[in-house]
Structure 1
Amino acid sequence: MPNEVQQAVDLFLDYMRGEKWASGHTLANYSRDLARLQKFCAERDLTGWRLLQNTDIRQYVAVRHKSGIGAKSIQRELAAIRSFFKFLLKKQLVEQNPAQGVQSPKVSKKLPKTLDVDQVAGMLDAKPNSNLELRDLAMFELFYSSGLRLSELVMLDNADLSLSEGFLRVRHGKGGKQRQVPVGSKAIKAIRQWQACRPDCESSALFVSLKGSRLGRRSVQLRLERWCRKNGLAEHIHPHMLRHSFASHLLESSQDIRAVQELLGHADVSTTQIYTHLDFQHLAGVYDKAHPRAKRSKPD
């Protein structure tokens, strides 16, 4: 495709980076998605973004689906293409958004896998035997205490904590959004124990290696796997499972989906609604107590 086609992509990525504060991960995905679309267009002699029609995008989706790409991935690619053409429309580089109205294959809804309260207790009540394990336990307590994303946890600095007041500040939330979340007493205790033995280093990071460098996401995942193996936990537990468990347990107890939405940092409450898989007997109990015509008379 001509140079101006790639220039339009570069302009869009610069816009996403500079004005939308898109993360490096998001920018990499957008770049790959648009490169695939460029290749598709080149194979069909579509030499400019203005030439793309709604039928071309539908065909692109069909080709991706036929090649075995999952519905969720195609859905994400379509979102990137829509955003790209929305930007081109704004810049008057195209006359229409050919991706508008194009549907991806249906995504089967999967409930997030969670641990029950006893499983979480068994995992977090295990005793650490080294400074590294004190750090690890502080990380795992914080996941479950405050419902953090893995990316949010590794970007925490010591200055983000206010343990005396029982909260922390998330500065690197999804989409660049910031929020404050509470920190429970067990997590506070674990963090203080880690801070007491944390290596003296120049890094501002809360969680560092023995050499003093900020921990990466993969390191946290591997440490969690190691902790689970050591403590005989058969379940394959990943960091996001602790976030899911936080959300599920809090929602079951409080019934306040808006509060859980805020704590998780979800932009849309529909995202939080995946955690509303509450036990039917609990719901029936709430119904019996609350509905004015549900109360059953006692048997004679």
Structure 2
Amino acid sequence: MKPAHRSEQGAQGEEPQPLAAPLNAYLDYARVQRRLAPRSLVIYADALLRLQDLAGQSGMALLTLRPHQARSLAAKLHGEIELGPRSMALHLSVWRGLYRWLGAERLVEINPFDGLRAPKAAKPLPKALAVDDAVQLANFSSSSADAAQAVDARLEARDRCMVELLYGCGLRVSELVGLDAQAGPASLGWIDLQAAEATVLGKGSKRRSVPIGAAAMAALVQWLQVRGQLARSDEPALLVGQRGARLGAVQIRASLKARALAAGMPTHVHPHMLRHSFASHILQSSGDLRAVQELLGHAHITTTQIYTQLDFQHLAKIYDAAHPRAKKKQ
């Protein structure tokens, strides 16, 4: 493998700096034994070169690096180079892996980066549609002449069913992909029309049943009336494509994106945004966090609690718009 160097150095006209032999050997190990992707190897090479640079500038020998020196190098990532928490975490992960390998090769006695962690990155709040936008997306119907064609009408019925199940039931895209039109011996998930429920297989192979509301049931029934005209005779999947086979997650994302654009949504819409919208709107209406946890299939209530922040943002906007004391004096 050729010695690695940072692309920005070459762009500035500087001579590419080769990695020291042990670091280059680790990069070869990551390429051959761990089979890292080319992009990952570039990231590893950059992190290793940064370690070499920082240690060299501070007069530290890499093979005798001590924990207090490792902490000093980590501090430089944050203070001098001003890396964010995620980039810091990535660098420290590469450096820990390097010293783990050096230890296995008996080139170092300790891993100075063991136990050293980057500052926690602030978790961004999930993005949810406003209620009116979510309803508009679900109710959207193409008015173009081409939509009158049989196959387009079928796909439109399918896509409306898709949106209603994502937003009306709070499903993950993987759960939607796994739904069969009815229960079968190999089904991961299925629809029970009589009980108005969808049974899905969530994270950790945990099953749960979620109610299907009236609007989603109407869209589901409409789709099932034409599904047989598209689906192969032996295809159990609820949602199928034009070739009659089960829709995959990529196809669902693409269909949802196209529908959202046609419906004039103010932002890019993806399947998980509809799940966020479901949780946020249920919480705004009921205030029952435990119920939202059960409906979403979260193992821990702490995962669901992020929606209380969205709920507070919603209430704060109402307050700012309606309360006379919230308005600034002119």
Place the TM-score, normalised by the shorter chain, in its bin: 0.5 to 0.7
Matched, 1:258 2:290: yes
Contact 2:92 2:116 in 1 (8 A): no
Could you tell me which residue of structure 1 aligns to residue 169 of structure 2?
146
CA pair 131-147 structure 1, distance change in 2 beyond 3 A: same
Unaligned runs of 5+ in 1: 14-27, 89-93, 284-300
The structure 1 residue matched to 2:197, chosen from 152, 158, 167, is 167
CA pair 204-110 structure 1, distance change in 2 beyond 3 A: same
Secondary structure in 2 matching 1:179 = strand
Give the CA deviation at 1:247: 0.6
Matched, 1:114 2:162: no
| TM-score, structure 2 normalization | 0.59
1:259 & 1:35 partners in 2: Cα distance? 45
The structure 1 residue matched to 2:262, chosen from 224, 230, 240, is 230
Q: Which has the higher contact order (CA 8 A, sep 6+)?
A: 1
1:244 & 1:157 partners in 2: Cα distance? 23
Q: Deviations over 1:31-62 (max 9, x none)?
A: 98799669856986989xxx996865985796
Secondary structure in 2 matching 1:207 = coil
CA pair 280-234 structure 1, distance change in 2 beyond 3 A: closer
Most deviating of 143-152 and 221-230: 221-230
1:166 & 1:32 partners in 2: Cα distance? 46
Could you tell me which residue of structure 2 aligns to residue 179 of structure 1?
208
Contact 1:224 1:239 in 2 (8 A): yes
The structure 2 residue matched to 1:132, chosen from 133, 137, 155, is 155
Matched, 1:103 2:118: yes
CA pair 147-69 structure 1, distance change in 2 beyond 3 A: farther
Matched, 1:276 2:290: no
Could you tell me which residue of structure 2 aligns to residue 216 of structure 1?
248
Letter in 1 for 2:300: D
1:176 & 1:61 partners in 2: Cα distance? 41
- Work out the number of aligned pairs and report it: 257
Q: Which has the larger radius of gyration?
A: 2
How big is the alpha-carbon RMSD for the aligned residues of Structure 1 and Structure 2? 4.6
Give the CA deviation at 1:281: 9.5
Secondary structure in 2 matching 1:102 = coil
CA pair 263-60 structure 1, distance change in 2 beyond 3 A: farther
Contact 1:78 1:99 in 2 (8 A): no
CA pair 225-168 structure 1, distance change in 2 beyond 3 A: same
Matched, 1:200 2:214: no
Secondary structure in 1 matching 2:231 = coil
Letter in 1 for 2:231: D
| TM-score, structure 1 normalization | 0.64
Letter in 1 for 2:214: S
Secondary structure in 1 matching 2:305 = helix
Give the CA deviation at 1:273: 1.6
CA pair 38-261 structure 1, distance change in 2 beyond 3 A: farther
2:216 & 2:48 partners in 1: Cα distance? 52
Unaligned runs of 5+ in 2: 1-24, 53-60, 102-108, 148-152, 184-188, 317-330
Q: Deviations over 1:177-212 (max 9, x none)?
A: 433222222212212221221223133322111101
Q: What pairs with 1:43-82 in structure 2 (closer than 5 Å)?
A: 59=73, 71-72=85-86, 77=90
Contact 2:199 2:210 in 1 (8 A): yes
